Structure 1
Amino acid sequence: MATHGNRRTPERAGARQRVTAGRAELVPDPARPHGWTLLADGVPQSYVDLADPEYLEFGYVKLIARALSSWARSGVPERVLHLGGGGLTVPRLAARWWPDVAQVVVELDGELIAMVRRELPPERPLEIVVGDAREAVERAATEGYDVIVADAFSGAAMPGHLGTVEFARQLRRILRPDGLLIMNVTDVPPMAFTRVQVATVAAAFAEVGLLGDQAVVRGRRAGNVIVLAGRVPPLRMSRDERLLREGELVVFSSGARPRMDAKR
């Protein structure tokens, strides 16, 4: 029997609008009554199911969620920092899992985050900071967060000032000793950017891992991978996934130089 799908219309006020970074649009999912895709300049950026925050459409978000849940087996997070807001998919999930968790979301595009909060309001309050992720991190208190989810992009790329050793050291400073950094990275074969990013994070953290689809990690196709740092938890892998740690990760990033801030 066919589903009636989502009958809310994107033509209503606010569902399409110009934002700081371009044009944002909310498109209803015809297969899920409460599902929405957030598009930025026509490219899918986030997926949200208002009735079921645990339904995750994008593969890389599923990897983030698995890392979160695996880390939390030894304790519930009290404070989580999200660098990059988008549709607030991961903050909604964390709020569903841990209703008392305090969450801060830093999003550069104030018009985008205002649209998301208005059209797809989260079920629990979030602290939203409109501004640059690096500036917010540099102002944050030392050891102030249990988990940091770094998912900030300018178009399809991580902003350069968020991919340096100096920034990674700031992330380590504000992360609690047993905390977890989860960083989303998108790349294309032969994964040169990811190799540099792994080396960059490893220059600041003693323990680092790389999680992703096996074909992406091996440089056979483009996609997203997740850099983990801090207390990297054991994760159960499917046959199509890889988690590189220790020696395997050293081999993966061999020859890659950590990226430093540009000299001024």
Structure 2
Amino acid sequence: MKAVILAAGYGTRLQRDLEKEQSGQFQHLQGVAKPLLPVGDCALISHWLRALTQSACVDHVFVVTNALYYEAFQLWAQDFPSVHVLNDGTRNNEERLGAVACLQLAVNQFAVNDDDVIVIAGDTLFKEDFSLRKFTERVAEVQRKNKEGNLVLSYQCKDEETLKYGILEVDSDSRVTCMKEKPLPSETHSRSATRPLEERDAPGNFLSWLIERRPVYAHEISGRFDVGNLASYTECDRYFRETLQNPDLYLI
């Protein structure tokens, strides 16, 4: 199995927040790619690499970034022999390719279309209940039913939060039957949330396309940290410094 980590974003919201922030407490974060932000005792993306390495669930990790941050990721990757860093060639937010195009770039560049692929958002971490071991076991279970089966993570959201996310409707076997984009609470009984659809950063659009063509199953977790602005970054960092119970087993 291979892993592709999508890390080609420019973090424009976070950088705007840092420019406005007056205390100077976060000055060291200016110009740092979101996956390389310090979270707890290491870079955000390093939590993934530690777990992927220790669990031995993948043999290669492909990180797709941009020309602005390429050298920083190359320097970071020196500590992880299984990592290959790919430059998408863009230098600013207006040129960005988007998540699906970056995924295709990695598939084409490294010829990974003949193996199963775990796709990871480089600005995202999960709460402590997520386990790569359980996830890969569930993948194997899904593919015993159908070799073309796929697995997507979801988590329960509140009624008022359906307008923020893509909402997955599933059957009794947790197979996804449809995805509703940011529905009203009254438009669906499901509260199984996944990343929202966005025109340029389009993993949700890809998921909607995939559901109609291949079996897709939902694997529920308790929640995630999606680092988008300074508030979400500080919340994530606080969790890893104050709440995380067993750092040595995190994600494994």
Shorter-chain TM range is 0.3 to 0.5
| Larger fraction in strand | 1
TM-score (norm 2): 0.35
TM-score (norm 1): 0.33
| Larger fraction in helix | 2
Of the two structures, which has the highest relative contact order with CA contacts closer than 8 Å and spacing of 6 or more? 2
